[in-house]
Amino acid sequence: MDIRQHTEAMEENYLSEFAARSNRSVGRRRPEEPCRVRTAFQRDRDRIIHSKAFRRLKHKTQVFIIPEGDHYRTRLTHTLEVAQIARTVARALCLNEDLTEAIALGHDLGHTPFGHAGESALNDIMPGGFKHNRQSLRVVEELEGGTGLNLTWEVCDGILNHTGPVRPSTLEGQVVKIADRVAYINHDIDDAIRGGVLQVQDLPAFCLDILGWKHRTRINTMVTDLIITSRDKPLIGMSSEVWQATDELRQFLFDHVYIDSEAKGEEGKARHVLQYLFAHWVKHPRDLPEEHRARSRTVGVERAVCDYIAGMTDRYAIAQFKHLFIPRSFAISENSFTASGAVVNKKMSNPEG
């Protein structure tokens, strides 16, 4: 018995009857020889971590666009917080931690630069719309490395359905869906307070009386309630009281942080950057990098441009905007002038030449 088979046998003996088993996976689009050391879900997790799309998350906005401080969340730190919360819940419920972690680490791979402002910008101009969860699935199925990561069906299902009305098919995916909400509600409050957008006393007292007045207390309340409510059940959820308080706290953030707050002051500029880039490359596809220009011939120019922009970091999108739309200064060397300051370089002295 190799190491993978030993791990699979441990899963059979230890995991909940409702947990996903690695050796019972629906499988991959393209069949592969199993790894002797890692299970299928462990292999998926490793592929996501080693992907370029995962590394780019460190320079993508969570809520604050290009924040000055070092302690504001980025899309990468959000992803790590989701993975930590989800693994804690999965372990307590005897679910498959490797599947849970893979889904959590991959759930935002398709997120745009500038956070939800970027997603909204692309949704407005891309025919058929744009949703980051669908784009995350495109990343792992098609875009990363040119052919995708060839992940298992269970991981792809969890990534696609981590947001929206459809419930993930596995309990591990359901855990990630709620862990995502637990993470962003709490860390966005933390960032908003750090940025001076909110004060603790601004938060609804009803919610904090139930969930806790401190950051760590709220997370602990939500996670503990999620575990107790979901134990030995074929469905993941919270108690009605904690869920109501969590949902109302989330709505408060939409009303006071996510829309028309100081944290969102630069969103109009961010939308402008992405929409101008989109319009330019759709009109001038020859300006695209060769990889995306080649893809445009098979998937269409708009789809290829959308994929290119969605994969950008904030700073790369800004750099491309500057390159295409901002005039660059022209430096003239000192030896191009006489002592009197007259230009002696013929090409410089004759604008028409």
pLDDT digits (tens, 9 = 90+) for 20-64: 999 999 999 999 999 999 999 999 999 999 999 999 999 999 988
pLDDT band for position 314 (cuts 50, 70, 90) = very high
**CB 151, CB 99: distance < 8 Å:** no
Single pTM value for the model: 0.92
The Cα 266–Cα 308 span in angstroms is: 22
pLDDT band for position 302 (cuts 50, 70, 90) = very high
pLDDT at residue 347 is higher than 70:
no
Helical H runs in 50-165?
52-56, 75-92, 97-106, 115-125, 132-138, 153-160
Up-side HSE of residue 190: CA atoms within 13 Å toward CB?
18
Burial class (CB in 10 A: 0-12, 13-18, 19+), 77: middle
Contacts of 217 (CB under 8 A, 6+ apart): 211
- Partners of 28 in the β-ladder: 152
